[in-house]
Amino acid sequence: MIKLLQVYNQYRSQFNGEETVVLRIAELVEKYGGEAQLLTRSSRGIEKSLARKVHAAVSGFHSQSAYREMVQVLREYRPDVVHAHNLYPLLSPSVLVACRRARVPVVMTLHNHQLTCPRADHLRGGQLCERCVGGREYHCVWNNCRGNLLESVVYAARSAVARRLRLFHDNVDVVIALSDFAKRRLVGAGFNGEQIAVLPNMTPSVDEPVDPSQGRYFAFAGRLSSEKGVETLLDAATTLPDYEVRIAGEGPLRDNFQARAPQNVRFVGHLSPAEMTGFYRRARCLILPSRCFEMCPLVVIEAMSHGLPVIASDLGGREELVRDGVSGLLFQPGEAGDLARKMKCIEGDGELCRRLGRAGREMSQREFSEGVFYRRLMTIYQQASEIVRSRDFGSQHCGDRNQHADVIETAPNP
């Protein structure tokens, strides 16, 4: 039986896929007989207080309080493995140092690009940017990538400090990349490829697929912000006035998007998990028009599990999820005309719509099911444990703990 400790700093935004993944991993471990605890801090409300902003800026480099709390949790809970997610700004890499000193294996999932971009999304002015990769974080300051010079300085400095001190390189035993594309980028940024495991996100199984050719609208689900490419979808919808488009989600640009949206676009706001199921099952297709390097969007694999085809921008490792002409269609990023053409293909050819949906569902069951994810995750935890056991720590240990139990467990076939 595994004892898992997850570590996660909540983002300012209330709804995001990373938090969903954290909760699903805990539920999955407990489902198969293990234990799971969560050490968390929240960034929500930081922007309302100058004192909290200053505290967040400083703690992003090192948080002594988070370090002490981690030491205490490790001593009392005695986990077999620590699974880290987002650590900025209130936890910081200091919690990883505590784990290393306690000889506890650390696995970290990279849900974004925080180790290669101070902003974590490789965007500058709404356009892709890779100027900071390889130790050039000063570009974040020169270009004021955060839109706030002080924030840009803090983000660039904490990224540079973490890189120079190797706080992630040396204190994380196994890094989980959500795609081969993400792994290649990490290797290009100086990480050891043997330290990186590829594990896409998972999605709960769906008993009965839909017939997407009977769907009533084209669906988008996600944060309503510039990097998600909503403008491209709105421009495409303007040229297709007879096609209904529904947009689920909230975000800072919702009012702007609604003001420019044509009449055939409907905004439905944030939906609960149960409401999202209905949203998928009444749709004809899911559209992912992002202009950034997405990792492994939950909305894509969830839609595929219901049997929906996906139209996605051809960017980064997107073809690993949406295989053009097989499980969906790809279009040129930012090209509303190309997106509109692909929407016409889905609308005008019911058999194509069904065929793409079936292939996507088969891929979802084969590669993103809970059983597949659990077995791969346990293998990664075991790999991290073996790395720690093979390392010479002298007399350093956590309490009287001498070694970690094997964590691979039997999971049912997906």
Task: Look at 156 and 295; give whichever has higher pLDDT.
Answer: 156
What confidence tens digit (pLDDT) does each residue in 358-377 have?
999 999 999 999 999 999 99
Give bridge partners of residue 329 from the DSSP assignment. Answer: 311
Domain boundary assignment for the chain: 3-115+168-202+371-390, 212-367
Specify burial of residue 358 (Cβ count, 10 A radius: 0-12, 13-18, 19+). middle
For residue 398, pLDDT over 70 is answered with no
Please provide residue 176's backbone torsions phi and psi, each rounded to the nearest 5 degrees: -100, 120
Sequence length of the chain is: 414
CATH number of 3-115+168-202+371-390: 3.40.50.2000
Distance CA 267, CA 82 (A): 39
Distance CA 366, CA 364 (A): 5
Q: What is the model's pTM?
A: 0.89
Q: Name the token pair of 280.
A: 């998928």
- Band (pLDDT 50/70/90 cuts) for residue 43 is confident
In this prediction, residues 318-334 reach a mean pLDDT of 92
What confidence tens digit (pLDDT) does each residue in 262-303 have?
999 999 999 998 999 999 999 999 999 999 888 889 999 999
Residue 44 has what pLDDT?
Answer: 82
The distance in angstroms from the start CA to the end CA of the chain is: 20
212-367: CATH topology: Rossmann fold (3.40.50)
- Band (pLDDT 50/70/90 cuts) for residue 14 is low
Residue 49 has what pLDDT?
Answer: 80
Distance CA 383, CA 389 (A): 10
Handedness of CA 328, 329, 330, 332 (dihedral sign): negative
Q: 283: Cβ–Cβ under 8 A, 6 or more apart, which residues?
A: 212, 215, 216, 217, 218, 219, 246, 303, 308
